[in-house]
Amino acid sequence: MTEEAQVRQPRRSKLWIAALALTILVAIIVIPPLISISRYKTSIARAMSASLGRPVHLSGVELRLLPRPGFVITDLIVEEDPAYGAEPVLHANEVAAAIRLFSLWRGKLEISRISVDEASLNLVRTADGRWNLDTLFRSAAKSQRGETEKKIPLPYLEATNSRINIKRGYEKLPYSLVDADLSFWEENPGDWRIRLKGQPARTDVEIQLADTGIVQLEGRMQRAPELRLMPVHIEMEWRQAQLGQLSRLLIGSDPGWRGDLTAEMKLDGTADSAQVTTRLRATGVHRAEFAPAVPLDFDANCLFAYHYSAQTIDHLKCDSPLGDGRLRIEGNMPSNGQPQFSLELQRIPAQAVLDALRTVRSEFGAGIEADGSLSGKLTYDATAPPQAVANPVRIDRRNRKVSNAKPAPLPPGPLTGAVTLDGLKLRGGSLSQPIQIQKIVLEPSAGTDAQGEVLAGTANLPAGAPAPLVISARLTLNGYLVTAHGIGSPSRIRQFAHAAGLKEAGALDAIAGEPVAIDLSIEGPWLPAPNEALAQSVGELPSNDVPGQTTPDRLTGTVTLHNANWKTDTLPIAVQISQATLHLSGGAIDWDPVAFAYGPLKGIARVQVPPGCGEAEHCIPAVNVEFPTLDAAELQSTLLGSEKSGTLLSTVIARLSPSTAHNWPEFQGTLKVGSLVLGPVTLQSFAADIKVNPAQADINAIDAGLLGGQLHMTGKIENGDKPSYALEGTVESLDPAELCDLFGLKCSGAGVDGSGSIELAGYDAKDLADSATGTIHFVWKNGNVSGHPASPDFAPPILARFDKWSADAEIAGGAVTLTASQVQQGRHKTSVSASVSFTDPPRVNFLPVKAAALSKK
């Protein structure tokens, strides 16, 4: 071959290759639109159904040659096994399905790869613990066990940007995995692999998805008749989870935890019997409202064997460093419901225990730091026989004595061991002085059926009194009970209450004086009650529970005061309390009785604050006060004060309080007085129903005995520069003799009835008289009026004896003036004019009768 021929041969080969490539490219572009693949839709659906073991439906199919031959399927639906529900197990708007080319040579259509984007996958678990994936694997495994020519390999399945929903039977739970990337394929015949990455989400609450973390899983499974018998190797990691949003995800609310969490798990074996290794790491754990000096961090590693069918956990070992100490848990959970566990504590810092308590009780120990350590070992063995133990310390609440009970053989239950808290010292926060306790020993104690196994211990706590407080604690897995009994100074007791985060501590904030006696107990769960929506979603809401109810901490008992005083900004001087008892029950605060003295006023009071009062809820206390006797002038000057200078009253008020501005306390209740002196008049059995706010007092009703008759009145008092009154009411059957005696007159006859209204303002009698305006109407039957002995003709002769006297009067200018008055004697009627001046004593002036208006009936 010549040199020229050798050169032309490669050029000719390149031309043939280019022409072939161009032909294939044209075929790829031109041929697919010319081929109608819709007639193969049924065959494609049948092939996918055979591979997945589920009925498959699709709306349309298009041929695709690049990057590999296959189909683009629209609206793919993979039906669910009826045993797991009616909703499809998989739905995708568009699916790319690649075909196995070699299957076409055999005259069959087999799917090698199914790729979906933005699909929805349902994972279903039945009440008996079966998953819908179980039948999928069994169908795939069954197809692999046939003859060689009948094998239908499971296609490579992948999903991107998809959503995985969790269902319990027919009910869809609010939990899901979003932005999920899922791959599932068969590495070798009977050897499957799975890879998953997604972000946990919840649909019924608002959460920040960026803080719920990322879940990653890689696993390997081998063929088995059932899903639970498949040999598996799974590695899972949940990282970048923020505790606040993680709490909202798991329990539906944010209890206020902050920090970062990473969880790792490895599982080897089968679902029916697997070795599990876990690691849980948390950093920066603290309450949202405060950041401790040293955040609560932990790194817990656990190893155990899990048996799905038997529902048991064997050879559990968990170990975690905590501060300078270490915590270790070992045990077994057999299927007979009789677990065996041991908990060992090695020098756990008291500060770590305090921080742990603050993670579940945000108000507990705010700003307080702790020294000391916790050590010991507890063993729980449900199969252990009972043995004789000593009864715990007994508190005689009636006689306020502490004594040790005699030993007695009691069944202690399965809990044994002890935990010791050494060198406890609490400082900072609300404590002006540290609390120091050398040793507290917590030992098992027999509990009631409701409490189960109990750890109990006691400690003596100095509280500013000759004898210390006795503190007893009883701790269970579910909650706690703490009692306090003894005597302490009001300031120290108040500090303890604030340190414990008790909202009722405010009842003692303004109390000072001699030591108080307390007999209190507080109990509650370690964690808040589960969210109602969550409890219902996982089927854990007991049938006898009331939806929406929670189980809060309950503080009950009494605090007794003697010779104390109470100071508030709403009153100019302190209230002296000779004796009072504070009752606490169910969140309610009840002071009953309170024997008090406030300036010249002495009485008995009862104050009730309803439960559930917090910053977000406006509550009005109920105040009921009783006085044996009371002078209205003293009451007004004591409660309202006086801003008018140059009077004896203002001088007294100035000495009692340097402030001239008084906001009235807000309350509602009753005022009862045996004898109320109201100027020249004394009211008997006085009872008023009132509601007071800082600006105004509403008088809903006043009932009292007045001048031998009865008084009924309503109105209001406004708190301004001067107290202003607006009153209206009626009187019934007033004794004429007592009424006229006020004006220096002698009268007799039947009772006087009347009604009227009045408005007045001021602090002293002159201000009140000068500002008074209003109207009066009265009716007096079968009466007589005689003048002062020094003035025999003081009263008009017509009033010497009359059958009926009715009149209307106007109050103004410091006097009451009759505007329409008519006196009837038999058939005769005569007009009488008169006025009453607001002097001391008041004086009646009758005007001459200008003309007698006589008439006959």
Residue 78 above 90 pLDDT? no
User: How many Cα atoms occupy the beta-carbon half-sphere of 549 within 13 Å?
Assistant: 8
Residue 410 above 60 pLDDT? no
Residue 789 above 70 pLDDT? no
Residue 149 above 60 pLDDT? no
The whole-number pLDDT of residue 743 equals: 83
**How many CB atoms within 10 Å of residue 364?**
17
Report the sign of the C-alpha dihedral through residues 219, 222, 223, 225, in that order: negative
Residue 415 above 70 pLDDT? yes
Contact at 8 Å (CB) between 561 and 511? yes
- Taking CA atoms, 101 is separated from 62, 108, 109, 148, 189, in Å, by 17, 10, 8, 17, 19
Chain mean pLDDT for the chain: 78
- Tens of pLDDT, residues 182-223: 898 888 877 888 999 999 998 888 888 888 889 999 999 887
Whole-number Å distance between alpha carbons of 123 and 4: 71
Most confident range, picked from 292-306, 492-506, 628-642, 689-703 = 689-703
Q: Which residue has the higher pLDDT, 757 or 113?
A: 757
Q: Tell me how far apart the terminal alpha carbons of the chain are, to the nearest angstrom.
A: 162
The whole-number pLDDT of residue 6 equals: 55
Mean per-residue pLDDT, 95-100? 76
Q: Which residue has the higher pLDDT, 245 or 394?
A: 245
Q: Which residue has the higher pLDDT, 229 or 667?
A: 667
Mean per-residue pLDDT, 429-436? 86
- Tens of pLDDT, residues 646-670: 333 333 334 334 444 567 778 899 9
Mean per-residue pLDDT, 253-276? 86
Closest CA to 362 of 459, 455, 289, 442: 289
Residues 6+ apart with CB under 8 A from 36: none
Confidence of residue 103 (pLDDT cuts 50, 70, 90): low
Residue 536 above 50 pLDDT? no
149-158, 553-562, 730-739: least confident range: 149-158
Residue 246 above 80 pLDDT? yes
Q: Which residue has the higher pLDDT, 284 or 691?
A: 691
- Per-position DSSP letters for 654-693, written without gaps between them: HHH-S----PPPPEEEEEEEEEEEETTEEEEEEEEEEEEE
Whole-number Å distance between alpha carbons of 135 and 581: 69
Backbone angles phi, psi at 50, to 5 degrees: -65, -35
Confidence of residue 409 (pLDDT cuts 50, 70, 90): very low
Q: Which residue has the higher pLDDT, 46 or 848?
A: 46
Mean per-residue pLDDT, 676-694? 89
- Tens of pLDDT, residues 54-77: 888 888 777 776 666 777 888 888
The whole-number pLDDT of residue 414 equals: 81
Residues 6+ apart with CB under 8 A from 74: 58, 59, 60, 61, 62, 93, 94, 95
pTM of the predicted protein model: 0.65
35-49, 270-284, 413-427: least confident range: 35-49
Contact at 8 Å (CB) between 776 and 816? yes
Mean per-residue pLDDT, 157-177? 87
Closest CA to 115 of 149, 156, 143: 156
b/e burial code for range 282-318 (CB count within 10 A of at least 16 → b): beebbbeeeebeeebbbebebebebbeeeebbeebeb
The whole-number pLDDT of residue 288 equals: 72
Mean per-residue pLDDT, 154-163? 84
Q: Which residue has the higher pLDDT, 633 or 538?
A: 633
Whole-number Å distance between alpha carbons of 761 and 516: 43
Most confident range, picked from 102-106, 443-447, 515-519 = 515-519
DSSP state, residue 751: P
Work out the angle at residue 370's Cα, subtended by the Cα atoms of residues 364 and 373, and round it to the nearest 5 degrees: 120
78-92, 141-155, 711-725: least confident range: 141-155
Backbone angles phi, psi at 187, to 5 degrees: -65, -50
The whole-number pLDDT of residue 782 equals: 92
Whole-number Å distance between alpha carbons of 420 and 457: 10
Residue 715 above 80 pLDDT? yes
Whole-number Å distance between alpha carbons of 133 and 384: 42
Residue located via tokens 């209740």: 669
Confidence of residue 359 (pLDDT cuts 50, 70, 90): low
**Structure tokens of 607?**
């104050």
Confidence of residue 1 (pLDDT cuts 50, 70, 90): low
- Tens of pLDDT, residues 3-34: 555 555 566 665 666 555 555 555 544 444 54
Q: What percent of the chain has pLDDT over 70?
A: 75
List, in sequence order, every residue forming a beta bridge with 131; answer none if it has no partner.
125
The whole-number pLDDT of residue 686 equals: 94
The whole-number pLDDT of residue 657 equals: 41
- Tens of pLDDT, residues 548-585: 334 467 888 999 999 988 887 666 678 889 999 989 88
- Taking CA atoms, 775 is separated from 249, 679, 733, in Å, by 69, 20, 19
For β-strands 368-381 and 340-349, DSSP reports them as antiparallel
Mean per-residue pLDDT, 39-58? 76
Backbone angles phi, psi at 448, to 5 degrees: -75, 175
